Chains A and B, each alone.
Chain A
Amino acid sequence: MNDAAETPRTNVPELSVSELALGVKRVLEDSFGRIRVRGELSRVNIAGSGHMYSDLKDENAVINVVCWKGTMSKLSIRPEEGLDVVVTGRMTSYPQRSNYQLVIESMELAGEGALLKMLEERKKKLAGEGLFAAERKKKLPFLPQTIGVVTSPTGAVIRDIMHRLNDRFPRHVLVWPVLVQGKGADEQITAAIRGFNAMPAGGAVPRPDLIIVARGGGSLEDLMAFNEENVVRAVAESEIPLISAVGHETDTTLIDYASDMRAPTPTGAAEIAVPRRIDLLAQTRENEQRLTGATDRLLRTLKERTQSVGVRLGDPTRLLEVKTQSLDHVSHKLSTVFDRIIESRRTRVIESGAKLRHPRALIQDKAQKLDYASRSLTAGFDRLLEKRNARLSEQAARLRMPKSLLDEKQRELTMHAAALARLAPRLTADKEKELSAATRMLDSLSYENVIKRGYAIIRDENGKAITKAANLNDGQNITIELGDGKKDATIGTGSAKSQQSLF
């Protein structure tokens, strides 16, 4: 069993992962080296590197696709999400991850229906931006001086345009050569339209006053450049009026909606661009004839009218008579009117004069007024004086006479004297009482009373009381007063003892 299990290993070669992965890659590339696949683009991602990574899918399957930057710039259509495309390319795998993918080499839209659908959607989008609005349309010049033509320098288109222009009205034509189909055509057409617009008016190269964008007929894909958004925008933005003339009568591209005028063919564009010179010449000549004719007629008419009016003028002297009469009439009226005016003025002067007063009368008037005023003044003064007098006497009357005042004071005095008399006895009675009391008091204190009680008073010759022995000289006469009388005595010459014993 073990042997049997080991034997098959020797029959199957052992591969490394790398060998297998590279093997698969080789098989893929050999088997699907050049294929066309139809599907819908999904998850379109154009990386910063410029490569596009996307999916191609149908109802049941999905495959990774990649489109390198170099191929991207050559694609005739711009890959968009949801586009139904037919892709040409090759299969490969990426050994590091063993992912396989389809490398795109070219891409076209699958079927006309899909293309038309895409165009319809683009048209809707641009219309929504107002690029096709009628009010954007510019009026084409009646007779352009210079016509700019954006087209291929080779081919029938420019020849057709030149032929028709020269038939109708030869003009100065500037051809801006461009590619009209394939990669880069849209950019060249856009640059040409912008380039004509950028030319300065009055520059060395005359700026066109009309642009024709033209291309001959072709398939829908051939005309695709004229459906590209950048071309449509350049057409819409052109300041110079622009005629689009792409393809045949039945072909319509998106620039036809944005242009100011759509021509069915390039030849048609030339017809729209210029009027027929011969027609204009005829028109001018016709106008000249009418001008001359009308002027002739006018002059003739005026002459006739002058003559007929002259006849109706009549005799000048008669006109003069009438006028003279009118003049007379008017001048008579004038003098009458003048007199009346003078008369009326005179009357007014007299009336006004009568209303004037003589100065003497005015003076009299004033004198009278003065007299009256002075009299009023005197009278007024007298009245004032009287009034003052009256008030003075009134006040005098109110003054009291001095005699009556004296009488009054006399009366008062008498009254007071009487009151005084009444009061006097009362005053003395009180004082008498006080006096007797005092007398009694005095009596009780009298020395006489003291003497009566045994005491004596010694008086000198002069009656003056002596109270000290020292004051008594020998031989001095004295008086001794006792209670019941006095006795004179003389002071003896004895000793002091005798003197003392005397007392």
Chain B
Amino acid sequence: MTEASAAQATPVEQLSFEAGLAELEKIVRDLESGNAPLEDSISAYERGMALKKHCEKKLGEAQAKIEKITISEDGTVKTAPFETQE
């Protein structure tokens, strides 16, 4: 459980989708093996549920947005709306 507890140091909100999903899968495997002590299992379950919510939220954030890069005269990079010619 040392790995899981080390991972617990990272707040769930700060994890990338990939890291969140990976940790969730690990928790599931650990719990399925049934070797974890009860106290650890309960906190692992709680963390697992938090991870699952976080992953779903990340997936929900998927929203298409397209912009065009423009370079202003002073060389700074800006964006402008981009219309695709359908």
Question: Which partner residue on chain A sits nearest B85 by CB separation?
Answer: A154
Asked if B67 and A173 sit within 8 Å, CB to CB, the answer is: yes
Asked if B68 and A143 sit within 8 Å, CB to CB, the answer is: no
**CB contact between B27 and one of A170, A173, A291, A297 (< 8 Å): that residue:** A291
Determine whether A368 belongs to the interface, using a CB cutoff of 8 Å to chain B. no
Determine whether B11 belongs to the interface, using a CB cutoff of 8 Å to chain A. no
- A142 contacts across to B, CB distance below 8 A: 16-18
CB of B56 to closest CB in A, whole Å = 6
- B79 contacts across to A, CB distance below 8 A: 174, 205
Determine whether A342 belongs to the interface, using a CB cutoff of 8 Å to chain B. no
Determine whether B25 belongs to the interface, using a CB cutoff of 8 Å to chain A. yes
**CB contact between B49 and one of A195, A283, A291, A297 (< 8 Å): that residue:** A291
Determine whether A311 belongs to the interface, using a CB cutoff of 8 Å to chain B. no
Interface size on A, residues (CB 8 A): 40
**CB contact between A169 and one of B24, B62, B85 (< 8 Å): that residue:** B62
CB of A207 to closest CB in B, whole Å = 10
**CB contact between B62 and one of A141, A154, A170, A298 (< 8 Å): that residue:** A170
Distance of A382 Cα from B10 Cα, bound (Å): 106
**CB contact between B69 and one of A141, A165, A169, A177 (< 8 Å): that residue:** A177
Distance of A435 Cα from B69 Cα, bound (Å): 176
- A417 contacts across to B, CB distance below 8 A: none
Question: Which partner residue on chain A sits nearest B32 by CB separation?
Answer: A294
Distance of A294 Cα from B36 Cα, bound (Å): 11
- Per-position 1/0 for B62-83, Cβ under 8 A of A: 1111111101000001110010
Determine whether A287 belongs to the interface, using a CB cutoff of 8 Å to chain B. yes
Determine whether B84 belongs to the interface, using a CB cutoff of 8 Å to chain A. yes
Question: Which partner residue on chain B sits nearest A284 by CB separation?
Answer: B55
Among A153, A159, A165, A301, find the residue whose CB has the most chain B CB atoms closer than 10 A: A153
A window 252-270: CB within 8 A of B = none
Asked if B17 and A162 sit within 8 Å, CB to CB, the answer is: no
Asked if A205 and B66 sit within 8 Å, CB to CB, the answer is: no
Interface size on B, residues (CB 8 A): 39
Determine whether A38 belongs to the interface, using a CB cutoff of 8 Å to chain B. no
B window 25-63: CB within 8 A of A = 25, 27-28, 31-32, 34, 36, 38, 41-42, 45, 48-49, 52, 55-56, 58-59, 62-63
Asked if A281 and B56 sit within 8 Å, CB to CB, the answer is: yes
**CB contact between B64 and one of A158, A165, A175, A283 (< 8 Å): that residue:** A165
Known A162-B84, A288-B52, A291-B27; judge A297-B34 contact (CB<8 A): yes
Distance of A199 Cα from B18 Cα, bound (Å): 24
Distance of A172 Cα from B77 Cα, bound (Å): 16
Distance of A211 Cα from B65 Cα, bound (Å): 16
CB of B47 to closest CB in A, whole Å = 10
CB of B86 to closest CB in A, whole Å = 7
Determine whether A464 belongs to the interface, using a CB cutoff of 8 Å to chain B. no
Asked if B31 and A298 sit within 8 Å, CB to CB, the answer is: yes
CB of B34 to closest CB in A, whole Å = 6
CB of A384 to closest CB in B, whole Å = 95
Known A195-B77, A294-B31; judge A302-B59 contact (CB<8 A): no
Determine whether A449 belongs to the interface, using a CB cutoff of 8 Å to chain B. no
Determine whether A280 belongs to the interface, using a CB cutoff of 8 Å to chain B. yes
Known A170-B62, A288-B52; judge A175-B45 contact (CB<8 A): no
**CB contact between B66 and one of A175, A176, A195, A298 (< 8 Å): that residue:** A175
Distance of A290 Cα from B34 Cα, bound (Å): 12
Asked if B24 and A284 sit within 8 Å, CB to CB, the answer is: yes
CB of A294 to closest CB in B, whole Å = 4
Asked if B82 and A143 sit within 8 Å, CB to CB, the answer is: no
Among A159, A169, A195, A205, find the residue whose CB has the most chain B CB atoms closer than 10 A: A205
CB of A180 to closest CB in B, whole Å = 15
- A288 contacts across to B, CB distance below 8 A: 48-49, 52
Question: Which partner residue on chain A sits nearest B17 by CB separation?
Answer: A143
Asked if B86 and A159 sit within 8 Å, CB to CB, the answer is: yes
Known A291-B24, A291-B27; judge A159-B84 contact (CB<8 A): yes
Asked if B64 and A284 sit within 8 Å, CB to CB, the answer is: no
Determine whether A51 belongs to the interface, using a CB cutoff of 8 Å to chain B. no
Determine whether A122 belongs to the interface, using a CB cutoff of 8 Å to chain B. no
Distance of A175 Cα from B82 Cα, bound (Å): 8
CB of B83 to closest CB in A, whole Å = 9
Determine whether A332 belongs to the interface, using a CB cutoff of 8 Å to chain B. no
Distance of A288 Cα from B21 Cα, bound (Å): 10
- B56 contacts across to A, CB distance below 8 A: 281, 284
The contact sample of 13 A-B pairs, CB cut-off 8 A, is: A159-B84, A170-B64, A176-B69, A195-B77, A280-B17, A280-B55, A283-B21, A284-B59, A287-B24, A288-B49, A291-B52, A294-B32, A295-B42
